[in-house]
Amino acid sequence: MDNYKKLTERFQQLHHYGHLLSIAGWDQATMMPAKGNDARANAMAELGGLCHRLATAEEVGDWLAAAEQETLDNEQQANLREIKRDIENARALPESLVLAKTKAGSKCEHAWRTQRQENDWAGFADNLKEVVKLSREEAQLRAEKTGLSPYDALMDLYEPGMRSAEVDRLFDDLRSWLPDLIQTVQDAQKSRPVVEPQGPFSVEQQKQLGKHAMELMGFDFEAGRLDVSSHPFCGGVPEDVRLTTRYNTDSFAESLMGVIHETGHARYEQNLPKAWLGQPVSEARSMGIHESQSLFFEMQIGRSRSLLKHLAPQIALTFGEQDAFTPDNLYQYYTRVEPGFIRVDADEVTYPAHVMLRYEIEKALVEGEIEVDDIPDLWQQKMQSYLGIDTAGNFKDGCMQDIHWTDGSFGYFPSYTLGAMYAAQWFHCIQQQISDMEAQIEAGDLSQISQWLSDSIWQKASFLTTPELVQAASGEALNPQYFRQHLENRYLHQVR
């Protein structure tokens, strides 16, 4: 096992460098002064280049070929499979492209923070064009290595084994029933008035409430922290998880659910198998599985009648008594369906429409069917078609609202709706196994639910392929009917 051992040592080294990159990226988004961006971008590109050289060095290829002939147990074989995947992904690109894409992405993302506030599409587009150019080069190189289409080659980085043909099938099914459901729910909710919470809600109070929710969800504050950024995210490494949110003093609702969402990501990271940390097999299986954890916590649990009943006294204690803070009103408030501009603030019924729109645009962009200058008009057309919303001229709440395209993360967006489908499937399984689950949630006891997630998802990490993981956890392949069932139960039948 000498060659396998050499590979694991190299990947442990890469994990350490990756740790530094992730914390530098977190600091860039939360703490770094604006004038530090160029230096930070250069430093991160340099370290990224070093990691690329270490992963693609000639000796690594020799070790891999020899390790494939060595006698390994099942866990080691799974780790070798993931090591090989990482090596092949790294080898598909020259270091010059890795460096150029890192720098272009850092420049675009940093400028986006102010350009979005200023509704400056022209300035943003100039930077985005360079990111798209380099992303297309990457997609073409990966396509040549894998035999996939350019877009599928990028999506495979986030969803190993998933193909756009399967995403198209799932999204075609969504389109067949989602528009009618959105309209039916909106019509039904007209007869159920909601009392709006009255602000202002101080940032400090919102922080206190968010941390209370994180403790309830089981977040380990000795292995992570909560901060503020322009776009909420979960980063860092399992030993040091960094969560961010953003605050609006006129409304606490978005921040609270944003924190619960990111805590779902964090719980996954904090509970990956510690004995294998530093090895590719200990990493999250895919971004769809990762999103299934955040959406499970936010949508399945966070917006449930049971959890809101549990949280209602704490919300009233934090902000003062209001009629809006009754459990029933909070439930109606958090399950209100109303098409809006912003994806991250969308209700769970309209949310898939935001994802499908972005998927269609980014796929056409990567494949060269459209150009950056075409994005605003396409965005406007698709928002009108899917949600009946006019975004003409409103770039900051339209095609500039997301951070993903700034660094070339094309192929990521399908993960959100795949995650929602997985989350509904996990929740169905847990319901079958824990008879008093709703009572436990209402009591603030998530221990049995967390144990199921740990046993079925978190500790499995990447030892199984995604289809194997889904089959092992739920007894069947991904079944989108559970997602439809969940939405109809909650929004039409008011089961929860």
Residue 68 and residue 179 in one domain = no
Identify the residue whose tokens are 């009572």. 439
Going residue by residue through the chain (496 aa), what tens digit of pLDDT does each one get? 799 999 999 999 999 999 999 999 999 989 999 899 889 989 998 999 999 999 999 999 999 999 999 999 999 999 999 999 999 999 999 999 998 998 899 899 989 989 999 999 999 999 999 999 999 999 999 999 999 999 999 999 999 999 999 999 999 999 999 999 999 999 999 988 899 999 999 999 999 999 999 999 999 999 999 999 887 899 999 999 999 999 999 999 999 999 999 999 999 999 999 999 999 999 999 999 999 999 999 999 999 999 999 999 999 999 999 999 999 999 999 999 999 999 988 999 999 999 999 999 999 999 999 999 999 999 999 999 999 999 999 999 999 999 999 999 999 999 999 999 999 999 999 999 999 999 999 999 999 999 999 999 999 999 999 999 999 999 999 999 999 999 999 999 864 3
Nearest alpha carbon to residue 189 among 332, 79, 375, 18:
332
Residue 164 and residue 260 in one domain = yes
Residue 378 and residue 463 in one domain = yes
Eight-class DSSP state of 66 = H
Q: Is residue 97 part of a domain?
A: no
Q: Is residue 184 part of a domain?
A: yes
- Give the separation between CA 131 and CA 112, rounded to whole angstroms: 13
Instruction: Specify the pLDDT at position 496.
Output: 39
Q: How far is CA 226 from CA 24, 270, 288, in A?
A: 16, 14, 23
Cα 124 to chain center, whole Å? 23
Boundary of a domain, candidates 63, 91, 119: 91
Residue 44 and residue 158 in one domain = no
Give the largest CA-CA distance in the chain.
Answer: 70
Q: How far is CA 475 from CA 113, 292, 294, 478, in A?
A: 44, 17, 22, 10
Boundary of a domain, candidates 74, 91, 108: 91
> Is the peptide bond prior to 376 cis by the omega test (within 30 degrees of 0)?
no
Q: At what angle do helices 74-91 and 37-56 cross, to 10 degrees?
A: 120
Sign of CA dihedral 458, 164, 389, 128: positive
Eight-class DSSP state of 477 = S
Decide if 229 contacts 29 (C-beta within 8 A). Answer: yes
SS3 382: helix
Q: Is residue 128 part of a domain?
A: no
Residue 397 and residue 308 in one domain = yes
SS3 209: helix
Binding residues, as ranges, are 261, 265, 291
Strand ordering across the sheet containing 224-228: 224-228, 240-245, 234-237
Q: Is residue 410 part of a domain?
A: yes
Binding residues for Zn(2+), as ranges, are 261, 265, 291
Boundary of a domain, candidates 91, 107, 130: 91
Q: Is residue 145 part of a domain?
A: no
Residue 278 and residue 425 in one domain = yes
The neighbour count for residue 94, using CB atoms within 10 Å, is 13
Residue 243 and residue 333 in one domain = yes
- The set of catalytic residues is 262
Give the ranges where 395-436 is alpha helix by DSSP (H). 414-433
Q: Is residue 116 part of a domain?
A: no
Q: Which amino acid is at 355?
A: V
Decide if 332 contacts 255 (C-beta within 8 A). Answer: no
If phi > 0 it is left, if psi is from -120 to 50 it is alpha, else beta; for residue 494 that is: left
Residue 41 and residue 161 in one domain = no
Q: Is 97 buried (19+), middle (13-18) or exposed (0-12) by CB count in 10 A?
A: middle
SS3 160: coil
Q: Is residue 403 part of a domain?
A: yes
User: Element (H or E) spanning 227, and its range?
Assistant: strand 224-228
Give me the number of domains the chain comprises.
Answer: 2
SS3 248: strand
- Alpha-carbon dihedral angle through residues 429, 74, 89, 457, given to the nearest 10 degrees: 20
Strand partners, 225: 242
Residue 200 and residue 284 in one domain = yes
User: Element (H or E) spanning 375, and its range?
Assistant: helix 375-387
Q: Which domain covers residue 307, as residue numbers?
A: 151-496
Identify the residue whose tokens are 């769809």. 288
Task: Give phi and psi for 459, each to the nearest 5.
Answer: -75, -15
Nearest alpha carbon to residue 462 among 86, 61, 25:
86
Instruction: Specify the pLDDT at position 494.
Output: 62
User: Which CATH number goes with the domain that contains 230?
Assistant: 1.10.1370.30
Residue 45 and residue 178 in one domain = no
Task: Give phi and psi for 326, each to the nearest 5.
Answer: -70, 150
Residue 276 and residue 418 in one domain = yes
Residue 83 and residue 160 in one domain = no
Q: Is residue 83 part of a domain?
A: yes
pTM of the model: 0.94
